[in-house]
Amino acid sequence: MSKILNNLIIQLTKLPGIGWKSAQRICFFILKTKKSEIDELIHAIQLAKSKLSFCPICFNYTENYMCEICSDNKRNHTQLCIVEDASDIITIERSAIFKGLYHVLGGVLSPIDNIGPEKLRIKELIERINKNKIQEIIIATNPTREGEATAYYLLKLLKQYNIKITRIAKGLPIGSDLDLADEMTISEAFEGRQEL
């Protein structure tokens, strides 16, 4: 096999959820696609890497100083949905069920991976709660062992604030990620959330 071809496949396997066979299919798709279309893809990736940064309030990706959600006065600024990653916001927004604000933790607690509370954006979350008139916190971590442990940790930490704390319902399969769920499942999980 060509070294260039092999290297492209290896680089593609570094993408999440892409194994060798998928990388091989993507590789040959790229090679069969018009150069102009591949140039557009390359440009889109480079633009995203150079122009997107974190919103200083919620840590969602934005091309402006503050993201569109945090700067939207029509949203419910008393509800705060806590998610693991910015990709979870896209999934929840597609469901069109939630009209509040978000807070991206940047991961979950994972002792095996040496990720404790200090490596997540929990300090920033507490600062937001202290500065704003939050009435409900919705914990929307993934229903994995680490996501559940993080939800439990947050529940214990946030109980002192006299705020309604809910967890999205278990309409999501255990071991799954939010960004893999369809809009209806996300919608039902939000509607069925329970106070913790």
Tell me which of 185 and 132 has the higher pLDDT. Answer: 132
On the 0-12 / 13-18 / 19+ scale of CB atoms within 10 A, 176 is: middle
Q: Which residue has the tokens 């633009």?
A: 47
> Cβ distance 157 to 125 under 8 Å?
no
State the pLDDT at residue 144: 83
186: tokens are 């996300």
Cα separation, 81 vs 59, in Å, equals 12
Pairing, β 136-139 against β 76-83: parallel
State the pLDDT at residue 35: 94
pTM of the predicted structure, to 2 decimals: 0.79
Own/partner pairs for 172-176, CB < 8 Å, 24+ apart?
172/142, 172/143, 173/143, 174/143, 174/144, 175/143, 175/144, 176/142, 176/143, 176/144
Express each pLDDT in 36-69 by its tens digit.
999 999 999 999 999 999 999 999 999 999 999 9
Q: How many CB atoms lie within 10 A of CB 54?
A: 15
